[in-house]
């Protein structure tokens, strides 16, 4: 059941294009939340806390995972699917450890007595931003899993390249999104 | 979906594929009508669901209009329907608020967003750009079924003991955040938020699909400047949706956290019965900013498709090219852009900085420019046209009328100084019901009358259509024109009753008049309901191109199969508005007619293009 029609007037791949639109809508969610953060912060009555040190580690991990994802993409382009599969597994593991480090960051905050609920929104915003990003990381991990499965089981290589390419786009986006949130939190926590 | 390519194959190797083809066309009932991936079926699903919700939303307004028009009447006879919501022959005041809230929610989101955009974007985009189906039929199906789940949740909320959400369709906290505030802010509000979160997912899936299809799946020759204005309108609507609905999602998410997880994004220093709540440091104004960042573009999500449909119908039935095709596109783009930077004009009375207020006021008033361009273009298209008064045409002209008379009061309300006086009065209610509610609903009806033959292969009855039009058109003006006076007199909206205030003793009879007009107008919609369902089965059979229209959908078979065109997709050689072209044999030339076939009517620059075609 191919669900995508052939492209006609323009040469773009419809699936890739839809992915970009999906990314735009995620950008809007985070843009609105960070704007809400700034608007609320400007009103005062706002707690200050130390940014958890685990965030530096998680940022490093997610940059690494982007690199390994790029490795998968390059390998797929060269029709070297066994290597691409391995690189995807590496990305998956790095993604999981990113999630774990984020969780560590939450515990660090709890140790500082900065809570999600029954507390100043300054702290709650931190949990919402990181939590919502973590939710997207989980969807990204599922996407990686599906891609890994297809790369291992699918014989048609051109289809695989698009699959890996789209997965890489989404994963890089999640990385960039995290770096944005990290810089944002670094500046305004 | 495998059927898509079959026709192309069978053209040359027909006999080999006969059996094979037959297999593919035999979809089961469920695949064909329920979990269908065919854009035409999905469009009809949205249409029927939208009509169902319109019936509910309309009946709600009839009930609260009864209360407003006849505050002393005995409503005991409604007891079988409303049960405990009628106490001693009186409507429960909290239920009145629930009715108002649900009327707004249902009409804005379920009828005029899902019902209008969902129906016509789905139905017309592939047919008018020349595509076999949407970019992703699967996501399209998901979009409908997410909408369905969201509908079910909202529907359930109507029947729970504490009542549905009652804080107004804008659900401002703290009213909507605290169950102590009103009974509707309990389970009803939870269901409202869950339903809307799912609705947003549905809307995003739909919008992403529409944009992708329009950009990537246009047929050969269908450049952006040859797209029908309907498609331009759906395209820009979808862009607004992708950019603004996620923001409503953020607003709703933070409200969910506040309600159920004990955070304080919107709540601060609230005392209930002398007891302080734990919430500290929240900002209710923050919610309003987030809400109206969607809320204002939402107005155009509702209106733009109706305007697009109107452009198409007015041009076709005036037998004239649309006046100012590129100006129409430009003004729609202008409206799209401006719609994102005017949201705070809903918040002039929140104590915002007056300087900021004047910035938003200026931006708001600028919207009058592209809107006026559109209104003038409609009128100049009609001017000296060879007008065919089909029911669809009448409804389109009605839309232009509402768009102007409702839009003019928008200029008044856009002024911060005047808005502070008129804010939250019936003047506002009258304004947006004309310009956004009635105009969009007329666009919706015009679309149904115009494309019914393409949807069901039969015609709607014209006489009933005329009766429906005149009753609705006159009725709507009788409802909303007097409402302006009530608003100027200072009557606040959402009040259960005005009888206890001496200041409001004056307009009782006018309110009664409005109620009678409203209930009559609503009853007139039943004529349409009958016409619609009767004609699906018993209507007069349609011809292939009943309105002598130019766009591609009328080149498809009367009832298009899955894949829309048998054989190749038609190519496009001209814009969609070649009506009454000087020298042409007929008063319309369809988009798929090559320029080289019409040497008698080609304009000088088209002669060169015609040579290139060969």
- Please, which residues bridge with residue B458 across strands? B541
pLDDT at B614: 62
Report chain B's mean pLDDT, rounded to a whole number.
Answer: 91
pLDDT at B269: 84
Mutate to test the interface with A, among B2, B217, B259 (most CBs of A within 10 A): B217
Q: What is each CA distance from A118 to A189, B102, B255, in whole angstroms?
A: 18, 31, 14
pLDDT at B607: 86
CB-nearest partner of A21 from B212, B249, B251: B212
Share of chain A above pLDDT 90, in %: 64
Smallest CA–CA distance from B572 into chain A, residue: A9
Report chain A's mean pLDDT, rounded to a whole number.
Answer: 88
CATH number of A15-43+51-188: 1.20.120.80
Q: Which residue has the higher pLDDT, B552 or A15?
A: B552
3-state DSSP assignment of residue B495: coil
Residue B549, token pair as written in the block = 């229209």
pLDDT at A156: 64
- pTM value is 0.92
pLDDT at A4: 41
Out of B326-330, B336-340, B608-612, which region has the weakest mean confidence (pLDDT)? B608-612
**Once rounded to an integer, what is the mean pLDDT over residues A31-37?**
94
pLDDT at B574: 93
DSSP code string of A67-102? HHHHHHHHHHHTT-HHHHHHHHHHHHHHHHHHHHHH
Judged by CB atoms closer than 8 Å, whether chains meet at A21 and B211 is answered as: yes
Q: Report d(CA B431, CA B101) in Å as an integer.
A: 18
Write the pLDDT tens digit of every residue in A86-111: 999 999 999 999 999 999 999 999 98
Tell me the domains of chain B and their CATH numbers: 1-31 (no CATH), 35-268+277-496+505-555 (1.20.210.10)
pLDDT band at A7 (very low <50, low <70, confident <90, very high): very low
φ and ψ at residue B416, rounded to 5 degrees: -55, -40
**Once rounded to an integer, what is the mean pLDDT over residues B459-466?**
96
Write the pLDDT tens digit of every residue in B255-294: 999 999 989 999 988 888 888 888 888 889 999 999 999 9
Out of B426-430, B466-470, B596-600, B605-609, which region has the weakest mean confidence (pLDDT)? B605-609
Residue A133, token pair as written in the block = 């990003």
| Residue B595 in this model has a pLDDT that exceeds 70 | yes
Q: Which residue has the higher pLDDT, B28 or A25?
A: A25
pLDDT at B26: 57
φ and ψ at residue A24, rounded to 5 degrees: -60, -40
Q: Which residues of B touch A26 (CB under 8 A)?
A: 246
Residue among A178, A181, A162 nearest A18 (CA): A162
Write the pLDDT tens digit of every residue in A42-97: 888 888 888 899 999 999 999 999 999 999 999 988 888 889 999 999 999 999 99
**Once rounded to an integer, what is the mean pLDDT over residues B302-323?**
96
pLDDT band at B1 (very low <50, low <70, confident <90, very high): very low
Write the pLDDT tens digit of every residue in B102-115: 999 999 999 999 99
Helices (H) and strands (E) counted in chain B, each on its own, are: 21, 4
Q: What is each CA distance from B545 to A73, B131, B385, B450, in whole angstroms?
A: 50, 19, 20, 11
Sign, Cα dihedral of B513, B514, B515, B518: positive
Share of chain B above pLDDT 70, in %: 95
Query: SS3 for B403-459, per residue?
Result: HHHHHHHHHHHHCHHHHHHHCCEHHHHHHHHHHHHHHHHHHHHHHHHHHHHHHHCEC
**Once rounded to an integer, what is the mean pLDDT over residues B313-324?**
96
Write the pLDDT tens digit of every residue in B385-415: 999 999 999 999 999 999 999 999 999 999 9
The domains of chain A are located at 15-43+51-188
pLDDT band at B503 (very low <50, low <70, confident <90, very high): confident
Predicted ipTM? Answer: 0.90
Q: Judge contact between B207 and B238, C-beta under 8 A.
A: yes
pLDDT band at A155 (very low <50, low <70, confident <90, very high): low
Judged by CB atoms closer than 8 Å, whether chains meet at A18 and B223 is answered as: no
**Once rounded to an integer, what is the mean pLDDT over residues B45-63?**
96
pLDDT at B9: 36
Cis check: omega of the bond before B128, within 30 degrees of 0: no
Write the pLDDT tens digit of every residue in B4-50: 433 333 333 333 333 343 444 556 777 778 888 999 999 999 999 99
Residue B66, token pair as written in the block = 């009864």
Query: SS3 for B216-275, per residue?
Result: HCCCCCCCHHHCCHHHHHHHHHHHHHHHHHHHHHHHHHHHHHHHHCCCCCCCCCCEECCE
Q: Which residues of A touch B282 (CB under 8 A)?
A: 121
pLDDT band at A9 (very low <50, low <70, confident <90, very high): very low
Judged by CB atoms closer than 8 Å, whether chains meet at B290 and A121 is answered as: no
DSSP code string of B124-181? HHHHHHT-SS-SBHHHHHHHHHHHHHHHHHHHHHTTSTT-S--STTTT-TTTTT-TTT
Burial class (CB in 10 A: 0-12, 13-18, 19+), B501: exposed
pLDDT at B352: 87
Judged by CB atoms closer than 8 Å, whether chains meet at B137 and A3 is answered as: yes
Q: Judge contact between B157 and B195, C-beta under 8 A.
A: yes
Judged by CB atoms closer than 8 Å, whether chains meet at A40 and B263 is answered as: no
| Residue A172 in this model has a pLDDT that exceeds 90 | yes
Judged by CB atoms closer than 8 Å, whether chains meet at B133 and A17 is answered as: no
Q: Report d(CA B481, CA B484) in Å as an integer.
A: 6
pLDDT band at B315 (very low <50, low <70, confident <90, very high): very high
The B residues from 35 to 64 touching A (CB cutoff 8 Å) are 37
Judged by CB atoms closer than 8 Å, whether chains meet at B4 and A5 is answered as: yes
Give the distance from residue B135's alpha carbon to the nearest chain A alpha carbon, in angstroms.
5
How many CA atoms, within 13 angstroms, populate the side-chain half-sphere of residue B60?
A: 20
pLDDT at B5: 38
């Amino acid at each position: 059941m191919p669900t995508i029609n052939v492209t006609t007037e323009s040469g773009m791949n419809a699936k890739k294009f839809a992915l970009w639109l999906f990314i735009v809508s995620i950008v809007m969610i985070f843009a609105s939340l960070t704007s809400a953060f700034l608007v609320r912060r400007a009103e005062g009555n706002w707690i200050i806390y130390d940014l958890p040190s685990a965030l530096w580690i998680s940022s490093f991990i997610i940059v690494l995972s982007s690199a390994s994802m790029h490795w998968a993409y390059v390998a797929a382009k060269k029709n070297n699917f066994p290597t691409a599969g391995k690189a995807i597994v590496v990305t998956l593991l790095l993604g999981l450890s990113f999630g774990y480090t984020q969780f560590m960051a939450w515990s660090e905050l709890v140790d500082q007595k900065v809570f999600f609920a029954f507390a100043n929104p300054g702290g709650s915003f931190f949990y919402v931003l990181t939590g919502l990003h973590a939710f997207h990381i989980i969807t990204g991990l599922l996407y990686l899993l599906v891609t890994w499965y297809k790369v291992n089981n699918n014989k048609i290589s051109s289809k695989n390249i698009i699959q890996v390419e789209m997965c890489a786009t989404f994963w890089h986006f999640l990385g960039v999104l995290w770096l944005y949130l990290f810089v944002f939190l670094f500046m305004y926590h | 979906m495998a059927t898509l390519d079959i026709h192309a194959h069978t053209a040359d190797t027909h006999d080999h594929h006969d059996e094979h083809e037959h297999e593919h066309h035999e979809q089961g009932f469920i695949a064909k009508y329920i979990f269908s991936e065919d854009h035409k079926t999905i469009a009809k699903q949205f249409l029927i669901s939208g009509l169902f919700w319109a019936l509910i939303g309309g009946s709600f307004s009839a009930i609260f209009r009864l209360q407003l028009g006849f505050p002393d009447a005995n409503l005991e006879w409604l007891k079988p329907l409303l049960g405990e919501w009628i106490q001693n022959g009186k409507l429960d005041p909290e239920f009145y608020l629930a009715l108002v809230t649900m009327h707004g929610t249902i009409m804005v989101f379920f009828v005029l967003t899902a019902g209008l955009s969902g129906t016509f974007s789905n139905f017309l985009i592939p047919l008018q750009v020349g595509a076999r189906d949407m970019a992703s039929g699967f996501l399209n199906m998901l979009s409908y079924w997410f909408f369905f789940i969201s509908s079910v949740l909202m529907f359930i909320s109507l029947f729970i003991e504490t009542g549905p959400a009652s804080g107004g369709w804008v659900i401002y906290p703290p009213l909507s955040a605290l169950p102590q505030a009103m009974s509707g802010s309990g389970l009803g509000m939870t269901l409202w938020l869950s339903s809307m979160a799912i609705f947003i997912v549905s809307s995003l899936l739909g919008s992403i699909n529409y944009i992708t299809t329009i950009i990537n799946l246009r047929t050969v020759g269908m450049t952006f400047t040859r797209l029908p204005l309907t498609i331009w309108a759906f395209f820009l609507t979808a862009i607004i949706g992708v950019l603004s609905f996620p923001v409503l999602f953020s607003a709703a998410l933070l409200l969910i956290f506040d309600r159920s997880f004990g955070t304080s994004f919107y709540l601060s220093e609230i005392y209930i019965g002398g007891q302080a709540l734990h919430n500290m440091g929240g900002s209710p104004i923050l919610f309003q900013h987030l809400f109206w960042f969607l809320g204002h573009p939402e107005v155009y999500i509702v209106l733009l498709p109706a305007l697009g449909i109107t452009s198409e119908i007015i041009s076709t039935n005036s037998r004239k090219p649309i006046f100012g095709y590129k100006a129409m596109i430009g003004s729609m783009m202008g409206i799209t852009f401006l719609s994102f930077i005017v949201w705070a004009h809903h918040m002039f009375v929140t104590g915002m900085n007056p300087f900021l207020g004047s910035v938003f006021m200026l931006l708001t008033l600028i919207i009058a420019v592209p809107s006026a361009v559109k209104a003038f273009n409609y009128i100049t298209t009609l001017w000296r046209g060879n007008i065919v008064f089909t029911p669809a045409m009448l409804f389109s002209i009605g839309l232009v009328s509402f768009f102007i008379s409702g839009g003019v009061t928008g200029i008044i309300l856009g002024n911060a100084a005047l808005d502070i006086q008129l804010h939250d009065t019936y003047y506002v209610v009258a304004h947006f019901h004309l310009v956004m509610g009635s105009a969009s609903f007329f666009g919706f009806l015009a679309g149904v009358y115009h494309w019914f033959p393409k949807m069901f292969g039969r015609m709607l009855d014209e006489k009933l259509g005329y009766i429906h039009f005149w009753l609705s058109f006159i009725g709507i003006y009788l409802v909303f024109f007097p409402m302006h006076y009530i608003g100027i007199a200072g009557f606040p909206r959402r009040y259960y009753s005005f009888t206890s205030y001496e200041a409001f003793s004056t307009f009782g009879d006018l309110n009664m008049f409005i109620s009678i007009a409203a209930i009559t107008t609503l009853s007139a919609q039943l004529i349409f309901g009958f016409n619609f369902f009767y004609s699906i089965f018993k209507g007069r059979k349609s011809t292939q191109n009943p309105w002598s229209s130019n766009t591609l959908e009328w080149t498809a078979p009367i009832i298009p199969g899955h894949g829309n065109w048998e054989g190749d997709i038609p190519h496009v050689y001209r814009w969609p508005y070649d009506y009454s072209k000087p020298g042409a044999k007929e008063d319309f030339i369809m988009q798929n007619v090559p320029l080289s076939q019409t040497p008698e009517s080609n304009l000088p620059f088209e002669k060169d293009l015609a040579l290139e075609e060969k």
